[in-house]
Amino acid sequence: MSASYEVRDGVAVITMNNPPVNGLGLATRQGIAAGIEQAQADAAVKAVVITGAGKAFSGGADIREFGSPKAVAEPNLLSLISLVENCTKPVVAAIHSVCMGGGLELALGCHYRVAAPGTNVALPEVKLGLVPGAGGTQRLPRAIGVEPALNMIVSGEPVKSELLAQIPGQTLFQKIVDGDVVEGAIAYAKEIADARPLPRVRDAKARHPNPDAYFQFARNTVKAMAKNFPAPAKCVDCVEQAVKAKFEAGMVYEREVFMALMLTPECKALRHAFFAERAASKIPDVPEDTPVREIKKVAVIGAGTMGGGISMNFLNAGIPVTILEMKQEAIDRGIGVIKKNYEAQVKKGKLKADKYEQRMSLLSTTLNYADLKDADLIIEAVFEELSVKEKVFRALDEVAKPGAILASNTSTLDVNKIAAFTKRPQDVVGMHFFSPANVMKLLEVVRGEKTAKDVLATVMGIAKKIKKTAVVSGVCDGFIGNRMIEQYSRQAGFLLEEGATPQQVDRAIEKFGFAMGPFRMGDLAGNDIGWAIRKRRYVEKPSLRYSKTADLLCEMGRFGQKTGAGWYDYQPGKRDAIPSDVVVKMIEDHRKELGITPRKIDDEEIVHRLVYSLVNEACHILEEGIASKASDIDMVYLTGYGFPLWRGGPMCYAETQGLFNVVQAMKRFAKNPLDDAKFWEPAPLLARLVAEGKNFS
Ligand code: NAI
């Protein structure tokens, strides 16, 4: 049992002990229940204190038991809370550090609560697409008032204990104690040991002066802010029950809503993303206890678009950065951009002026490789040309200290070749950031043939420090994300040839939930980038057919927003995409040249061809071992490519649709003479899973 029991001075102290955050797994629940029974039975015990060992009171449900029978085995959380609430001796929660989800619901079932200042208090269930399921929506409004409670439940965000204690009339915390919170709780328990009746949060009333108007208002706000997620609106409904229904009826309502949400695809997607993020940091053949190298100083080569953004990540994390460039002008330009970015944040009130100064003071620049001799991690972000990278890596090999990690931000080049420019290929790794590098969450960590395990472990650790979601990719053209997006772009091009307009394609995929369709995205990133890549790639692979419309667009000089015209027209200084007659005519002429009679293409076909092209390529990537699990692919698309979170990523979406149905659709697409029948042959892995009736997970 993961809870200990001792009696101190007539007060039984039950201490949850389930590291790291005292998750309320079965053994912990059993431990608490046994403690309550023992305290009830012992005449010498006058009161009970429940607390948590280590770094938390309790972080809530034990995520390791999610979905297993243990999660709901008796005593489940509801029965445990009821046992505590009905204890005939006063139960005091001694709360510190973290009190979240089920942990807060348990505390609300106690008769009294004493908290340490600085405790993070939250009901974060909404972030997993759920409502609190053990009375949180019914008890919290009774303890702190309807509006603060609904704010906490709908946002899922933590609030500090001392702030909650300031709410007039609140009964959440009877005391905030500095110093030892368990001692404070024992002292308090002795004070109130004989007071009867025992106060129960459930017996209080949750009141609001204008409940109908308030809940209508809340519902409208939530709907506008979270239109693709059902849980936030359900939080409003549950809290409304706390005001309008009897406690027991409210509890039944909450339970029903919880169970129904559990089955929604949105909840499934959010839980999938939650676990996928944790899984991404684990590399199958790199043990978790692999020693890591210390990263105290970072150097970045190149102060361009990527070098500047990459540097900001480390400065933000308090790690000193030295940027190396070829010329002083390039340094000045790069530093200017970094400053402008920070100053914009200061202006918006997102960054304090002294923090800005502090970050800039960690930044130094040089034109001289010798100045990089102390760097623990060196990230190269120079022009995308192998010969340029070669010069840089040979120079780094000369000056970098032994054990320094040498990383390349290349997006298309072979990391093994880059590693071979040095005498220490084991220290070379790809760190593929996404633009803007100081904003985008995704980091593809590219594992070369010879990359050492401790280098990987170190880079995964540093990624966490700079708040990136790191996913490991093997070496191949485009790595995971861009290799998949190439197929998606090819499909987008074919759709134009067959009869769609850029606007129709963008609208369909944006309605599906992508932040931006492929053509608006091209205009934002610059259509010339893809043009340059195609010139190289399709010379190497002449058999790979693609639509020439994008090349024709570039030949017209329509590179996108930066030239004021791309797939769409743009008005000076504005980013609104205006459908372009010139582009529509160009596409029509191109069709005529190919002898294609346009047809009407519905949104479903557009979405499925785009998304299933990602899925099929991803299956090849998995089969080749470039990615180690399907959930990694979902993480890449959720954090780097604007795939809608409520759909959980392309692989999760494919599972929701049913892999059998996905393959059927691919077979249909293969029959289209204007598409690429070869590409639509289901990848062997996908075919195998369908034949065996299995899923990616
Ligand atoms: P950029 O052209 O904005 O910046 C490159 C910088 O490197 C320039 O300031 C240049 O003066 C400097 N440079 C060139 N050769 C150098 C050398 N030998 N020594 C020192 N500095 C040198 O290019 P960008 O966009 O920042 O790309 C850099 C790298 O990042 C490329 O490998 C690119 O493929 C990769 N990348 C780019 C992304 C993007 O969206 N722009 C996304 C992900 C990766």
Residue 86 identity: N
User: Which one of 65, 85, 125, 605 is the catalytic residue?
Assistant: 125
Q: Which helix (H) or strand (E) holds 278?
A: helix 265-280
What is the residue with the minimal CA distance to atom 1 of ligand 1? 304
H helix runs in 448-543, sequence order:
453-465, 479-498, 502-512, 518-525, 527-540
pLDDT band at 551 (very low <50, low <70, confident <90, very high): very high
- Beta strand 98-100 with 568-569 is unpaired
pTM: 0.92
| 355 Cα: distance to centroid of ligand 1 (angstroms) | 27
105 counts as catalytic: yes
CA 278 to chain centre: 10
435 lines ligand 1 (CB under 6 A): yes
pLDDT of 281:
94
Tokens read off for 687: 């075919």
**Is pLDDT of 503 > 90?**
yes
The mean per-residue pLDDT over the stretch 565-574 comes to 94
**Which amino acid is located at 36 in the chain?**
I
Q: What is the pLDDT of residues 335-365, one digit of tens each?
A: 999 999 999 999 999 999 999 999 999 999 9
C-alpha span between 136 and 53 (Å, rounded): 23
Tokens standing for residue 148? 């603060």
Q: Please give the order of strands across the beta sheet that includes 159-160.
A: 98-100, 120-122, 159-160
Fill in the amino acid letter for 684. P
Confidence (pLDDT) at 379: 98
Q: How many Å lie between the centroid of ligand 1 and the Cα of residue 492?
A: 28
How many angstroms is it from 412 CA to the middle of ligand 1?
12
Q: Mean pLDDT across the stretch 508-516?
A: 96
Cβ–ligand 1 distance for 409 under 6 Å, the answer yes
Q: Which of 383, 413, 473, 521 is the best mutation target for the ligand 1 pocket, counting ligand atoms within 8 Å of the beta carbon and taking the most?
A: 383
Say how far apart CA 670 and CA 682 lie, in whole Å. 10
**Structure confidence at residue 445 as a pLDDT band (50, 70, 90):** very high
Gap from CA of 384 to ligand 1 centroid (Å): 6
Q: Tell me the average pLDDT across 547-560.
A: 96
pLDDT digits (tens, 9 = 90+) for 186-209: 999 999 999 999 999 999 999 999
Count Cβ atoms below 10 Å from residue 227 Cβ, excluding itself.
11
Q: How far apart are CA 389 and CA 381, in angstroms?
A: 9
pLDDT digits (tens, 9 = 90+) for 289-308: 999 999 999 999 999 999 99
Q: Is the pLDDT of residue 169 over 90?
A: yes
Check: CB of residue 493 under 8 Å from CB of residue 530.
no
- Burial per residue of 119-130, b for 16 or more beta-carbon CB atoms within 10 angstroms, e otherwise: bbbbbbbbbbbb
Name the residue with the closest Cα to ligand 1, atom 43: 434
In one letter, which amino acid is 650?
Answer: P
How many other C-beta atoms are found inside a 10 Å radius of the C-beta of residue 563? 16
Q: Which amino acid is at 27?
A: A
76 lines ligand 1 (CB under 6 A): no
